[in-house]
Every structure is written in structure tokens, then in C-alpha cells.
Structure 1
Amino acid sequence: MKKIIFALILPLVVVGGLVFANRERTHEAAEKSPSTPPSAAERKAALKKWEATPDGILYKKWEASPAGKKVYASEAKIRKHIKAFTNMEAVVTSLSLPPGSRLGFGLMVRIDGDDYILGYGPEKSDELQQLHSLKVNDKIVIRSHSVLHAPKYAYPIISLNLVERDGKMLYKRVPRKGGC
């Protein structure tokens, strides 16, 4: 009888200890996370600190180079559409990204005479299946909330929210659940 009681109580003690230990670890992590976002002065100081690193120095050199200026000029052409989240007409120029790209699935398009990378992220067959039907010289309508740039790429990178062709929606980004 004592062995049976011991056999029943021992797992309860072990599970209780694990639950208590996990609660402590979660509580410690919550205490360490910052409760308020950094102030403007803190962000400015962090940026200055980063600009002094080798990566920051290379980035500043790229910004001042002709390639960096070209990327920023292309980005400025579509900035009003990005801020207003309005339609932009584009022509597909390539069904693949430049060599060495690590953006996942994407296309190259031309908007108002400038080339852009349309980056979709990791390829998920359900979401992106319709985009595989696009061909070079197809006219599409795109909408986006953001444009990115990186020294590795000679083109601005448009993060897509919507792609339409001939009035038919081909892609619409699904917002993350439970996040920002």
C-alpha cells in the first residue's frame, strides 16, 4: 500500500516542481524586458554607436555612393504611393531575383522607368500559387506599406501587401495573428 501511495505522490511532486520552475523563469524574463520604448535621444545615441561600427561605416559609404543614391532616388519616386497605400502600376521584367538574393520568392518589376524587387518572403505554396502564373511583360497593380533597401541589392525592395492583374487579385498579404 505504501508503494502505491508513493508511486502516485512522486509524479505529482515532480510535475509541481517543473510547473513552479517554469513560472519562475517566465517571471524573470518578463522583468528583464523593457517596459517603455527607447526615447528619441536613446535611439539617436544607439544609431551613432552603430554608425561607428564597421557595418555602419560600410553602410554610410554605400549611401554616399552612386549606387546608394540611385536606390534612394528610386525609393523617393514611389514614396507618396507607399505612404498613402495607393495603387502603383508595374510591369514584370523578370521572374527571378538578382543572383545571390536571399529574400525568398520574388519578382523584378519596373515602375515609372525604375526597377524594383518585389519581395514576398519565404515561398508558401498556398499564398503565392497565383503569382507563379505571372509572365514577363505582364502589367500588374501593386500596393505596399514599406520599401526597404540594402547595400547588397542595387534596387529598392518593395514588401507587398496586394498584387492584382486585370482587376483580379493574385496576392493579398494575410496579417499576423496576435501581433503588430
Structure 2
Amino acid sequence: MKKIVYAMILPLMVISGLVFAKRDIKNDTSARVAQKPLSAAARKAELKKWEATPEGIKFKKWEASPEGKKVLAGAAKIRKQVSASSNMEAVVTAISLPPGSRLGFGVMARINGEDYILSFGPEKPDEFRQLHNLKVNDKIIIRSHFVSYAPKYSYPIISGDYVERDGKIIYKRTPGTGGC
């Protein structure tokens, strides 16, 4: 008699466990739904709130300083070409980034008389092999989709998407996978 009762209870427990586990999985996926983007007014309010923090105050002081103005002017100088992702002629001025930088692999380049950090991101074994062959005073053609700046650096930062030397492509960023 005990064997029959145990035989009936065991499947009941297994089935109820599966039902509850499936319910938990559904709840987890609904919790991972992406947040909606902020409206313009909410974004502006968040920016004002950040500007009141110590980091925001420090950034505002840097923007107003001569060094900050120089960096912002350099970024503005190439913004049209970056937004159009058009070719920019550059000359390599250094094969390493400034000391203490945390931008991954990159080089220093001069475009239209201004110095820029040309950053390619974290070092990858095979992807940057041909970029390591660049030398100072090499003339290159670059394309980028993004220019940024930070108080830590004395130069605008260009995200390198495409590099060409002597008519040959030596680097082309591979599109990200797993995104939207």
C-alpha cells in the first residue's frame, strides 16, 4: 500500500515542480525587458542632476578651461567628416597612446594640423596585426563614426573604423554581433 501511495505522490511532485519552474522562467524574462528611452525633458533633467554632482562640476570646469576649449574645438573641427563617415587624411605622429591611457590599442594622428587619439579598442590578437606595422610619419586615410573627449586626455578621441595606407586597407572594424 505504501508503494502505491509513494508511486502516486512522486509524479505529482515532479509535475508541480516543473510547473513552478516554468512560471519562474517566464517571470525572469519579463523582468529583463529593456527600459524605454528617456524623453527629452527627462534627459535634460538627468543632465542637470549630474551637473550638480562633483564629477559634473569638475567636467564643467574642464570644459571652460583653455585645455578643454582646445579639445572641444578639435572635436568640432572634424565633426562633419565623422558624422558623414567620410575619408580623412592623417599622419601618424606617435605609435603609442599617452601614458596612463585606458583606451586599448591606438596611435596618435594629426588631421588638418590638430592632434588626435585614434583608438581601436581592446587589443585583439589578429585584428590589429597590420596596424602594428604603422610608423611615425606614415600617411593614412581613416574613417570613423564617433569622436569623443574626456578631461583625462589632452586630445579628442577618434574611434577608428577604417584605416588605409598606400591604397591598401590595413584595418576595417568588423560589425558587432548579437546586437539589434
TM-score band, normalised by the shorter chain?
A: 0.7 to 0.9
Pair 1:6–1:51, CA change in 2 (3 A): same
Gapped regions of structure 1 (runs ≥ 5): none
Distance in 2 (CA, whole Å) between partners of 1:11 and 1:140 is 66
Pair 1:100–1:12, CA change in 2 (3 A): farther
Gapped regions of structure 2 (runs ≥ 5): none
Q: Could you say what the CA RMSD is over the residues aligned between the two structures, in angstroms?
A: 2.2
Does 2:27 correspond to 1:24? yes
Return the letter of the residue paired with 2:82. I
Please name the residue that 2:50 is paired with.
50
Return the letter of the residue paired with 2:90. A
Pairwise CA distance, 1:106: 0.6
Please name the residue that 2:35 is paired with.
34
Partner-residue secondary structure (3-state), 2:116? strand
Distance in 2 (CA, whole Å) between partners of 1:11 and 1:137 is 71
Pair 1:12–1:93, CA change in 2 (3 A): farther
State the identity as a percent: 59
Worse-superposed segment, 98-107 or 124-133: 124-133
Q: Scaled by the length of structure 1, what TM-score is found?
A: 0.87
Partner-residue secondary structure (3-state), 1:129? coil
Q: How many residues align structurally?
A: 177
Worse-superposed segment, 100-109 or 79-88: 79-88
Q: Scaled by the length of structure 2, what TM-score is found?
A: 0.87
Pairwise CA distance, 1:9: 8.2
Pairwise CA distance, 1:4: 9.2
Distance in 1 (CA, whole Å) between partners of 2:144 and 2:68 is 22
Partner-residue secondary structure (3-state), 2:137? coil
Pairwise CA distance, 1:171: 0.7
Distance in 1 (CA, whole Å) between partners of 2:114 and 2:131 is 21
Instruction: Select the structure of larger CA radius of gyration.
Output: 2
Pair 1:22–1:103, CA change in 2 (3 A): same
